[in-house]
Amino acid sequence: MEFYVHYLSFFVITAEGEDTASGKRYRHYQTMDAEQYEASELKQFLDGEFARISKRKVERNPSSEQTPTKIGRFVVEPGHEWTSNPNYNLFQGLRQAGSPDEFQRLADDMVQMYMDTSAVRGGAFIVASAKLPSYFDEPFVFVMKCDFEPKIARISEVSLVAQVEMAISARNIKSIQYPYMPEDGMLEEQELKIHQASHARYFEDFLKFVTYEKPMPEIVNEQVVHMVHQYIEQKWEEQSSEERLDEEEKLEIWATSDKRDSLQEKWEHEQVMEAAVQLTQHKQDLELKFKLDGVTIKGQLADYGNKLHLARLGDRYVVLIEGDSFQFEKGVSPVELLKPQELTEVLKRIDGESSESSSE
């Protein structure tokens, strides 16, 4: 995947006192056309980054809010065109710029937006338009924020950066690629891909009119709460029923709790199975993870009712996991020498131990 730079603007951000907004300023060093880029020291440093950014995997609905790579979508009010979004217009302007001066002016607007964020950091800010001629005639826009190495080489007006590979850190480069390319040869012009290696979100925050897809756990939570509301509506038709209001209050507490220490014991097995099937239609490998006392059980939601079962044995809970074969990690354990009893024998043993414990 070989990109050819059309235009590139290089800015340097300096920060005196990283914890405050004061003392932050930027300076434009150079805007290059294709010929100047080919002869510059930036080429060796950046050529691989364009391909790396483009190939970086991203999930539309990530597994965590803190995931480093996200898909963003330009916010547009219903009934309005994409051109009503100023962020969209800026990226489109950079794609369509017809001269180095026009590109520099728009790149300057981009870096000014970045400077208005609450946690700006010093380093190199690079805006580039680069074509992928094997697939498209129009260029992509890349925005990159790179930190400087502690022993920074001197920035030169003539050569831009005397030794780029020494001066700019390739680690933790924050980047934006527009448009988003979900597959080779396919573009989503209403979307972009953003990558920020640290947990700080300031790099995405400077695009004020871009929204990001919800993480999968948040989507699942919303769907489960919606299912529970449907269950309540079916069980209690009267809106003002005291029992219904009490149930809704308990639901609110349950749904917003970070840790939940017990089963709710409200739904039958068939209801849970039906809900699990609905959720796994969106994402087959949804995680199911919980603890029974101090033992962690980790699998997939699709395993519930198929390979993984929850049961009650007297006053205690039992988790049953079925399968065809075991796999153990490095290091041997006496458990690996076991000749398993039949399940009925194990249940009798557990029940007997539980009875003895209760009598004591």
Angle between helices 216-235 and 242-256 (to 10 degrees): 170
- The DSSP bridge pattern shows strands 155-156 and 308-313 to be unpaired
The tens digit of pLDDT for each residue in 70-121 reads 999 999 988 889 999 999 999 999 999 999 999 999 999 999 999 988 778 7
For residues 55-74, give the mean pLDDT.
87
Q: Which of 115, 113, 129 is nearest to 209 (CA)?
A: 113
Please tell me which residue, 316 or 63, carries the higher pLDDT value: 316
For residues 314-330, give the mean pLDDT.
91
Res. 353: pLDDT tops 80: no
The tens digit of pLDDT for each residue in 170-226 reads 667 899 999 999 988 899 999 999 998 766 677 888 899 999 888 888 888 888 888
- Residue 168 to residue 152: CA distance in whole angstroms: 8
pLDDT band at 161 (very low <50, low <70, confident <90, very high): very low
The tens digit of pLDDT for each residue in 225-257 reads 888 888 888 888 766 778 888 888 888 888 878
Please tell me which residue, 14 or 319, carries the higher pLDDT value: 319
Residues forming a β-bridge with 128: 8, 142
pLDDT of residue 269: 94
pLDDT of residue 198: 62
Q: Which of 186, 176, 204, 156 is nearest to 10 (CA)?
A: 156
Q: Which residues contact 91 (CB under 8 A, 6 or more apart)?
A: 141, 178, 192
What own/partner pairs with CB < 8 Å and gap ≥ 24 does 218-226 have?
Answer: 218/65, 219/61, 219/282, 220/279, 220/286, 221/255, 223/278, 223/279, 224/255, 224/275, 224/279, 225/251, 225/255
